[in-house]
Amino acid sequence: MTYPKRCPHGHFPMDCELCQQAAEIATLTAEVDGLRKDAERWRLELSFIALADTRLWDDAHDFKAWAQNRARDALSTARGEP
59 located within any domain: yes
How would residue 1 be classed by pLDDT, with cut points 50, 70 and 90? low
4 located within any domain: no
36 located within any domain: yes
Structural domains in the chain (count) = 1
Q: What is the pLDDT of residue 13?
A: 62
Residue 82 has pLDDT above 80, yes or no: no
How would residue 36 be classed by pLDDT, with cut points 50, 70 and 90? very high
Whether residue 22 contacts residue 30, with contact meaning beta carbons closer than 8 Å, is answered with: no
| C-alpha span between 34 and 78 (Å, rounded) | 12
1 located within any domain: no
43 located within any domain: yes
What is the pLDDT of the chain when averaged over all its residues?
Answer: 83
62 lies in which domain range? 13-79
C-alpha distance from residue 20 to each of 14, 28, 31, 32 (Å) = 7, 12, 17, 18
5 located within any domain: no
30 located within any domain: yes
Residue 5 has pLDDT above 80, yes or no: no
Q: What is the pLDDT of residue 2?
A: 67
65 located within any domain: yes
